[in-house]
Chains A and B, each alone.
Chain A
Amino acid sequence: MNIRNFCIVAHIDHGKSTLADRMLQLTGAISDREMRAQLLDGMDLERERGITIKASAVSVTYKRPLAQAGEKKKGGATEEYLFNLIDTPGHVDFHYEVSRALAACEGALLVVDATQGVQAQTVANAYLAVETGLELIPVINKVDLPSARPEDVAMEIEQVLGLPAEDCIYCSAKTGKGIEELLEAICDRLPGPSGDPTVKTQAMIFDSKYDDYRGVVVYFRLFNGMLAVGNKVRMMGTGRTYVATELGKFTPKMTPTKQPFSAGEVGYLVASIKTLDDVNIGDTITLDLDPADEPLPGYQQPQQMVFCDFYPAGDTQFDELRDAIDRLHLNDASFTYAPQSSDALGFGFRCGFLGMLHMEIVQERIEREGRTQVIQTAPTVTYEVAMTGGRTMQITNPADLPDVSNIVEVREPIVSVEIITQTESIGDLMKLCESRRGIYKKQQYLSDNRQILEYELPLAEIIYDFYDKLKSITRGYGTMDYTFKGFRADNLVKMDILVNGQKVDALSVIVHRAKAEHRGRTLLVRLKKEIDRHLFEIPLQAAIGGKIIARETIKSVGKNVTAKCYGGDVSRKRKLLEKQKEGKKRMKRVGTVDIPQEAFMAVLSVEE
């Protein structure tokens, strides 16, 4: 059989999922009636936000018309190709999804929006694919748009990625134009799998999901050997063994198959696996009775970059929150969580995420799918603390920073940031990076008026509003990507916040000493805005090691009483007060002060 294993990669919103739609439709995997936009984006949140969060694999059969003397006819003789394609997310937080998908493929379609050109994740994903040794087909999408400039974009691709401009395929995933040509190119230009079905079995786990009926569903790419239902399989990394009870393909529905899988194929495996934690993405599946000598080269586990606490809020109890997090973790093993307790907020969880979007999505799913209310603390990064005595500890919570006397140095994660922007914005962007303790690396022309700017920046300086700032400086045109470089020491100290004289550990932040006073002042001003006036006056203070460096006061309520309350007003008035009270439930009471969610995020405000 002819097999093509490939994934679709691109910058966010350049049309990967829509392109997958067209392929599903043109190959007849999905009838016109069943078709809906971004069909592979099945999760509610994906549909609402119009973005792909999780990669989806799907197998379709392409009946390739046999070209006879240059003529192609419908209904003529065809040759079957099995396409195993993987639609990937474009957002930087989900990079690791892309790298997994790449590991399962021989080829990749690099989709570039014809109006936007090469963007930060285009570059990042293209390099990733090339490093993995994949064959790339550059696809210039959205040529139907009036502002499309496919030739310019082809030149950019050539210039930056070194892929010949004439190799680009022009198409519109919306109108279907150019898709047939693309299908042909997939057959012609992408290599088929090269595995050997006669040697010992090696299958790479590139994804997994949790299914209420089947338990864990493992996505695999069989590189060598065979795999059949009834086989006792062994995960080479964990050493665990299971009996394969179901094998199948995503078409895109999960469709069980009877025939054994043979080297080169992609599918799923069900084997009574209880939780996602039992399987490691990147692990190699082999047969327990005739195991392979070596696992396939794995790849890096996703790295949690930002951390925050979740605490139960409103009517939610700790147990309910724990259940909700447990349950979500069944579906998304890429966030970490561990019990955490805070003097101010009680019992909760410290969670680690791939990035800010990931954090936002996890929070929303815990609230929505788990029917809970949570208070979230401001996200921070991991710090490496070198202690006197030679010990080094990792902390993900500013409150855990040991006493200064025990610290030799504090190191923070540094990322390499690539920004693609119009040349005219370069000056302002450089100012932005400098103000965030950035170190200039290089600048490269992409085309006459667009450049790639590279900086090294502390991750802590970019997680919150950096991207928004970049967008506003570049009037929406700039894009960025970042990769982790390593830890670097700087003059970092812990700043504590006291509300009504009480230290609120969840508000502590690690800041650069030189910026501490300014941060302290702006933070208190923000807090003052976020915390409602109470029946008493509330002093706010920022302190470093017990020394107060800034203070503010929230005045008490002066007058708050409804003038009138007669017959018809009673229900309305009561509902209004009940609603205000309900609003307070989302807040956390620290001592006698109700602190809203926004206040915990206020610590992020870098400038006023």
Chain B
Amino acid sequence: MTHVIPLDQLAPDATRPASDSSVSQATDPLTTHSPATIAALYAHIPFCFHKCHYCDFYSLVEPANSPHDRQKQFTHRLTSELHWRAAQTDLRPRTLFIGGGTPTLLRPPLWESLLDTLHQTRITQNVQEFTVEANPETVTPNLMTLLATAGVNRVSIGAQSFDPHLLHALERWHDPANVAHAVHTVRTAGISNINLDLIFAIPGQTLDTLHADLHAALALEPDHISFYNLTYEPNTPMTARLKNGAITPVPEHLEQQMYEYLLDELEAAGYEHYEVSNWAKPSRRCKHNLSYWTNDNWLGVGPAAASHVNGHRWKNAPHLGRYLASQDQPPTADHEHLPTARSVGEQLMLRLRLIDGVPHTWLDDHLPHDDPRHGAITRFTSAELLERTDTHLRLTRRGLFVADALIQELL
């Protein structure tokens, strides 16, 4: 279903039921006052040269000799969406993140046009952190120089593993040797802030191979490491194989040991653990992703990109064809605006993922005295799954392992 979500109407006190899919100018009491401030902007580039088997991101593999140059059409449409958004509101985020898909698959001239637009619209004006996601195979000196010149100051490289067997298990097509090469290329281009994405609990993985992966990654001295427990997302080939018994998942106790191992080793290597799956060198936490967990306003552009503005969540429809065919506001889906109590639950879900936890002040402001969640918090605190520091309520190390089971009770 398509509906227009005028950004400048999404003021903080907008109370609109999630089911209300049409926002009418006439009936909406919030017109132009209190326009939203956007802290983060995400752009989704929906192309990959191959579909990895665990992946449930929205991305398409365009045949090499495709007669339709959808990359070009897409870039054109993306820039038009950016122009429309920038005209609609004061769009000067603190962070920019271009993800995918495989953004680095976009041809350099198309990149130039995208970067130009970001500058012309002055979207980049206040940007402190500008990240681009890269696949190790597609990191070229040429492109990296282009990005660096345009202000990109952080590159996130999808390494996943350095073990060919494990990469094969993921149906991830790249030569592990290229990761080091990519890191070098990025640095040479003058971009110093580098993240490596890694995956653990890959079928066939052992503590030994995990150790090898971790140390291969540490040898490259990244500023930031995202180390994800492999997730079997619905409707992926990996999950299908799991269901029909073709793959044996890593047993839970081993997953547990692996995570324990990472918690210890990464800290010993000087990385601060700041979110369930994220570690950073001091002052290198990802500002953009922090916006997600602290419930800032962010805007997504491109198909499948999600947005959150003043409690409203929606996403652009995950459909390139419909995206290309649209004008101004792309087709959207899943618009929701939660009532306060549920929104507090959602924020707890997000904030408790941060190792620092939830500030007591935030809880005082958001959790009424008679909220039943106080009871659950007390119960979890005495069970030593949650703990109170001077400033925050946070998960204990044991709580971290079972965060979902615990957060459920707080929703």
Cα of A254 to Cα of B345 in the assembled complex, Å: 54
Cα of A494 to Cα of B55 in the assembled complex, Å: 54
B54 to chain A, nearest CB (A): 11
Complex interface: chain A residues within 8 A of B24 (CB): none
Q: Which size bracket describes the interface of B in this complex?
A: 35 or more
Q: A559's contact among B289, B350, B401, B408, by CB below 8 Å, is which?
A: B401
Is the C-beta of B64 less than 8 angstroms from some C-beta in chain A? no
Is the C-beta of A160 less than 8 angstroms from some C-beta in chain B? no
Q: Is the CB of B306 within 8 A of A568?
A: yes
Q: Is the CB of A564 within 8 A of B405?
A: no
Q: B229's contact among A535, A563, A565, A580, by CB below 8 Å, is which?
A: A563
A564-B403 contact given A574-B411, A581-B408, CB 8 Å threshold? no
Q: Is the CB of B350 within 8 A of A565?
A: yes
Q: Is the CB of A562 within 8 A of B404?
A: yes
**How many Cβ-Cβ contacts under 8 Å join chain A to chain B?**
95
Q: Is the CB of A561 within 8 A of B401?
A: yes
Q: Is the CB of A563 within 8 A of B411?
A: no
Complex interface: chain A residues within 8 A of B406 (CB): 535
Q: Is the CB of A567 within 8 A of B252?
A: no
Q: Is the CB of A567 within 8 A of B231?
A: no
Secondary structure of the B contact surface, majority rule: mixed
Cα of A570 to Cα of B304 in the assembled complex, Å: 13
Q: A567's contact among B42, B402, B403, by CB below 8 Å, is which?
A: B42
Most chain A CB within 10 A, of B345, B405, B406, B407, is at B405
A561-B408 contact given A566-B292, A567-B292, A568-B300, CB 8 Å threshold? no
B91 to chain A, nearest CB (A): 16
Q: Is the CB of A580 within 8 A of B292?
A: no
Please give me the residue from chain B that is nearest to A562 by CB atom: B404
* A350-391 interface bits toward B, Cβ cutoff 8 Å, 1 = contact, 0 = none: 000000000000000000000000000000000000000000
Cα of A577 to Cα of B352 in the assembled complex, Å: 14
Is the C-beta of B298 less than 8 angstroms from some C-beta in chain A? yes
Q: Is the CB of B255 within 8 A of A559?
A: yes
Is the C-beta of A557 less than 8 angstroms from some C-beta in chain B? yes
Is the C-beta of A299 less than 8 angstroms from some C-beta in chain B? no
B201 to chain A, nearest CB (A): 9
Cα of A581 to Cα of B372 in the assembled complex, Å: 14
Q: Is the CB of A565 within 8 A of B304?
A: no
Secondary structure of the A contact surface, majority rule: loop
Is the C-beta of A560 less than 8 angstroms from some C-beta in chain B? yes
A570-B401 contact given A536-B383, A558-B252, A581-B409, CB 8 Å threshold? no
Q: Is the CB of B345 within 8 A of A561?
A: no
Complex interface: chain B residues within 8 A of A558 (CB): 252-253, 255-256, 401-402
Complex interface: chain B residues within 8 A of A563 (CB): 228-231, 276-277
Please give me the residue from chain B that is nearest to A574 by CB atom: B346
Cα of A521 to Cα of B350 in the assembled complex, Å: 42
A570-B306 contact given A563-B231, A563-B277, A565-B350, CB 8 Å threshold? yes
Is the C-beta of A342 less than 8 angstroms from some C-beta in chain B? no
Please give me the residue from chain B that is nearest to A583 by CB atom: B408
Cα of A558 to Cα of B400 in the assembled complex, Å: 11
Is the C-beta of B308 less than 8 angstroms from some C-beta in chain A? yes
Is the C-beta of B393 less than 8 angstroms from some C-beta in chain A? no
Q: Is the CB of B306 within 8 A of A535?
A: no
Q: A568's contact among B256, B304, B407, by CB below 8 Å, is which?
A: B304
Instruction: Known pairs A570-B350, A574-B345, A580-B408; list 18 more (Cβ under 8 Å).
Output: A535-B383, A535-B385, A536-B383, A557-B402, A559-B252, A559-B255, A559-B401, A560-B401, A560-B403, A563-B230, A565-B292, A570-B308, A571-B334, A571-B336, A577-B349, A577-B407, A578-B411, A584-B408
